Amino acid sequence: MLFKPDLKETEPAAGARVASRGRGRLAATAVTLLILGGLGYFGWTAFQQKQAANRVRPDLAVPVLAATPRIQDVPVYLDGVGAVRALNTVTVRSQVDGKLIAVNFIEGQDVRKGDVLGEIDPVIYKAQYDQAVAKKAQDEAQLANQRLDLIRYQQLAAANAGSKQQADTQRAVVAQQEALVNSDQAAIDNAQATLSYTKIIAPLSGRTGLRQVDQGNIIHATDATGLAIITQLQPIAVQFSLPQQQIVRVNAASAKGALAVDVFGNDGVTVVDTGTLKGIDNQVDPTTGTLKLKAEFPNAGFQLWPGQFVNVRLKVDTLMQALVVPTSAVQRGPAGTFSYVIGDDNAAAAKPVVVTQQNENDAVIASGLSPSDRVVTTGFANLSDGARVIVGNDAQTPTADLAPHKRRSSRDVQGRDGQGRDSQDRDGQGEHRGKRGERGQGEHKWHSEPAQGGEPSASVAKSQP
């Protein structure tokens, strides 16, 4: 017989077990919520500390660098890209055929106009010259005899001992012989010129290239390569291009006088030579929309070489007594360009400015500033209109780190209290970090005040990456 428990007795025991499980789940949930809340609290606290460390108090003065506008004459340049061209290039060829018996130059040598670069065997051409000289001597002897006959015939005709027709005929024979002697002289001149062509002469001063024909070879007047190529390097030319929008400006400037042209070196900053604009092309290149110009340079130090690509700037005007500020002082906002001007109360005020032109270093201001103003050049990150500033000097300009520093632990940097936070951050919200300057997007520490009641912080100017 099976045992059946009494239902009335088992029901209270089951209810107790269910109640016990419910209390266990409630306790586990409470513990989980407590842990999550603690983690959230610590995360929020760390985030607030980081924000406080990076935030500058609004009541602290912002360290900046400032500059005063200066008055000076500012040249106006047009930049272009060009290529160096030899002012003259000549391929030295022989004008007669023959054997090359001598080469009188070294490859890459500087030669002057009239120097003998090579010699061709002159034997054949000397013989032709001598033959022409001998032919003239023969004809001159016949002419002398015919002139004597003419005198005799004229005397006989005057005495009526001879016919006048014979005298006239002899006069024509003498004129014919004189023309033949003149022809012989022309043949001599031609033979002499041909003989002189056996010496290959430099037609201009310049530098020779590589030799194209070696000594002992037969050289021809029809050879395409020639003996050598001479390029004139002093002076030298540079051909460059400017946009077609600058045509009117260049023509107006060139009408006033010669325009100066500068050529930059490989670094793009150093001016290696200065020349003069010599010519402007008479049409615009329709494929590129540019106008070609040609300038001439002394090239005293052989800084320029044919075929070299160079950066060129053409001076077209000069702004007399212009107001100039550093380019870093000009800022751009939604309303246009402006600059922060420091007042007598060391408060920075944003003023709109009109910029005529600017380069990497200087900007020409047309309006908005006066020569007595002080403009901010560095420290814009924490700067706003009306903010108080502390003006530093050039000696406080931060320098960039050449290598990263070793990271230090929080114990080495901060004095710890019971919660592991710096007492200075807790009391003054990181007030000692207020003395910092910024340049560009990098943060630069000019100087730091020592922490209250703690070790002084680093005072060496560094650039924070």
Backbone φ and ψ for 291, nearest 5 degrees, come out as -115, 135
Phi, psi for 152 (deg, rounded to 5): -65, -45
Looking at residue 423, its pLDDT comes to: 39
Under a CB-based contact definition with an 8 Å cutoff, are residues 303 and 236 in contact?
no
The Cα–Cα gap between 163 and 166 comes to 6
Determine the Cα–Cα distance for residues 260 and 268; give it in Å rounded to an integer: 18
pLDDT at 11: 54
pLDDT at 73: 93
* Residue for token pair 């550093």: 326
Q: Are 377 and 48 in contact (CB under 8 A)?
A: no
pLDDT in tens, the chain (465 residues): 444 545 444 455 555 565 666 677 788 888 888 888 888 887 877 777 666 555 545 557 889 999 999 999 999 999 999 999 999 999 999 999 999 999 999 999 999 999 999 999 999 999 999 999 999 999 999 999 999 989 988 888 888 877 888 888 989 999 999 999 999 999 999 999 999 999 999 999 999 999 999 999 999 999 988 999 999 999 999 999 999 999 999 999 999 999 999 999 888 889 999 999 999 999 999 999 999 999 999 999 899 999 999 999 999 999 999 999 999 999 998 889 999 999 888 899 999 999 998 888 899 999 999 999 999 999 888 888 888 898 887 655 545 444 454 544 444 444 444 444 443 444 444 433 433 333 333 333 333 333 333 333 333 333 333
Q: What does pTM read for this prediction?
A: 0.59
Separation between Cα atoms, residue 363 and residue 328, nearest integer Å: 9
Question: So what's the pLDDT on residue 16?
Answer: 57
Burial class (CB in 10 A: 0-12, 13-18, 19+), 298: middle
Tokens found for residue 71: 């008055």
Write the secondary structure of the chain as one string of H (helix), E (strand) and C (coil).
Answer: CCCCCCHHHHHHHHHHHHHHHHHHHHHHHHHHHHHHHHHHHHHHHHHHHHHHHHCCCCCCCEEEEEECCEEEEEEEEEEEEEEEEECCEEEECCCCCEEEEEECCCCCCEECCCCEEEEECCHHHHHHHHHHHHHHHHHHHHHHHHHHHHHHHHHHHHCCCCCHHHHHHHHHHHHHHHHHHHHHHHHHHHHHHHHHCCEEECCCCEEECCCCCCCCCEECCCCCCCCEEEECCCCEEEEEEEEHHHHHHHHHHHHHCCCEEEEECCCCCCEEEEEEEEEEEEEEECCCCEEEEEEEECCCCCCCCCCCEEEEEEEEEEEEEEEEEEHHHCEEECCEEEEEEECCCCEEEEEECEEEEECCCEEEEEECCCCCCCEEEECCCCCCCCCEEEECCHHHCCCECCCCCCCCCHHHHCCCCCCCCCHHHHHHCCHHHHCCEEECCEEEECCCCCCCCCCCCCCCCEEEC
